[in-house]
Amino acid sequence: MPAKIKTKNAIVEMDGDEMTRVLWKMVKDKLIRPHADVNVEYYDLGLENRDRTDDQVTVAAAHATLKHGVAVKCATITPNSERMKEYKLKKEWKSPNGTIRAILDGAVFRCPIMTRNVKPTVPSWKKSIIVGRHAYGDVYKNTEYRVEGPGKAELIFSDKNGKETFRRTIHEFDGPGIIQGIHNLDSSIASFAKACFECALDRKVDIWFGAKDTISKTYDGRFKIIFEQVYQKEYKDKLAKAGIRFAYTLIDDTVARVMRSEGGLLWACKNYDGDVMSDMVASAFGSLAMMTSVLVSPTGVMEFEAAHGTVQKHYYKHLQGEKTSTNSMALIFAWSGALRKRGELDGAPDVEAFADALEKSAIATVEGGFMTGDLARIASPAPRRICSSEEFLAAVAQRLAASRK
């Protein structure tokens, strides 16, 4: 076995909850620690510790991510009233991902992991499609009103001195109906655009953005203008140097092109489009357990995680001593993504190579017919063995060790 690789600068590690916390430890013990001395700055985002620290641990982890530039995060429980009781919480703490996203001013990109034996539902898709969702504003921060009867709806804007500077009729109602007010911010759209360009550069894929600027000339038109400005000012040369293209088309056209494409692109989506399309793309690629997710800040800071949650049902089985067959692929890829990024930033090709080896071993294991139950249902040909959580990781570990001889 070659000498252990070492990382120079720190990766921020955020531990999490339930089944993913169990798998997290196994991934570290079986796949990372035997081969690498990773300099981690550890934060325990497990729900008990968030409660103990009044959620300050989440805030500290996010600031550490800004400082070090790379983080890897386990799935965490977002508490609701049931969880309040289950964990006897002081408070219904906010979603950790929401807290971290706000501090990093980041956008989330979901990237499927592809293997030869789990084929996408869309036959032309040969490479993965990364969906980036602008997670601010629009219909998600709306003001709505149910109109009960005849009357007039107007759009009014007053400046900070209270002086009315804009008024236009939305509709003169003859009878009942509905109205809705939405907004967005230039700064948020620009941050999103930067995060998209940073992610495309990192993954070395073309970037497509679509909106409805023919119909919504001012609102969607603004998205188009800001993307173009950010591109021209900050990314045109960088993308050209990397051989990456940026294309804006009408959203209808983007959807049609994505369906006919062979993949290998980043699809930047407005908030609602991203909400809907990311679920479509995820299900077309097979399994939630094969979906990774990366939070990218406008300055290129990255936090890697699995797109799925803490797999609560499997955890309860695990607690009762039953065997589980929980897929650790997305967690493994969260680690490899963070290690590769760390290696890139530190100029450490051996760290990047280890990240590649880790991913190759995991993919080869699935392609060799060893997989967990979720994939067994959709794999073709049928698996050679449906593995337990531990067996799958042991099989990956064996391949990884062999590849490093």
Binding site for ligand NAP (CB under 6 A): 75-78, 97, 288-289, 305, 308-313, 326-327, 372, 374
| Cβ distance to Mg ion smaller for residue 275 or 356 | 275
CB of 180 to ligand NAP, least distance (A): 27
CB of 271 to Mg ion, least distance (A): 10
Is the separation of the CB atoms in 351 and 343 below 8 Å?
yes
Task: Report the b/e string of 226-249 with b at 16+ CB within 10 A.
Answer: bbeebbeebbeeebeeeebebebe
**Binder of residue 275, out of Mg ion, ligand NAP, none (CB less than 5 to 8 A by kind):** Mg ion
Sheet containing strand 107-112, edge to edge, reads 40-44, 11-15, 70-73, 302-306, 291-296, 107-112, 129-133, 265-269, 206-211, 246-250
Rounded Cα distance, 307 and 250, in Å: 28
CB of 40 to ligand NAP, least distance (A): 19
**Binder of residue 324, out of Mg ion, ligand NAP, none (CB less than 5 to 8 A by kind):** none
Q: How many CB atoms lie within 10 A of CB 150?
A: 11
**Binder of residue 97, out of ligand NAP, Mg ion, none (CB less than 5 to 8 A by kind):** ligand NAP
| Cβ distance to ligand NAP smaller for residue 184 or 327 | 327
CB-closest chain residue to Mg ion: 275
**Binder of residue 75, out of ligand NAP, Mg ion, none (CB less than 5 to 8 A by kind):** ligand NAP
* Cα→Cα distances 46→62, 77, 127, 387, Å: 15, 8, 34, 27
**Binder of residue 374, out of Mg ion, ligand NAP, none (CB less than 5 to 8 A by kind):** ligand NAP
CB-closest chain residue to ligand NAP: 309
Rounded Cα distance, 274 and 108, in Å: 10
Stretch 250-279: interaction string toward Mg ion, x if CB under 5 A? -------------------------x---x
CB of 16 to Mg ion, least distance (A): 21
**Binder of residue 117, out of Mg ion, ligand NAP, none (CB less than 5 to 8 A by kind):** none
CB of 99 to Mg ion, least distance (A): 20
Query: Is 284 an interacting residue with respect to Mg ion (CB under 5 A)?
Result: no
Rounded Cα distance, 106 and 65, in Å: 12
Residue type, 134: H
Instruction: Tell me if residue 26 falls in helix, strand or coil.
Output: helix
CB of 77 to ligand NAP, least distance (A): 4
Six-digit token string for 147: 């109109």
* Partners of 62 in the β-ladder: none
Site size toward Mg ion (CB under 5 A) is 2
Rounded Cα distance, 242 and 218, in Å: 32
Binding site for Mg ion (CB under 5 A): 275, 279
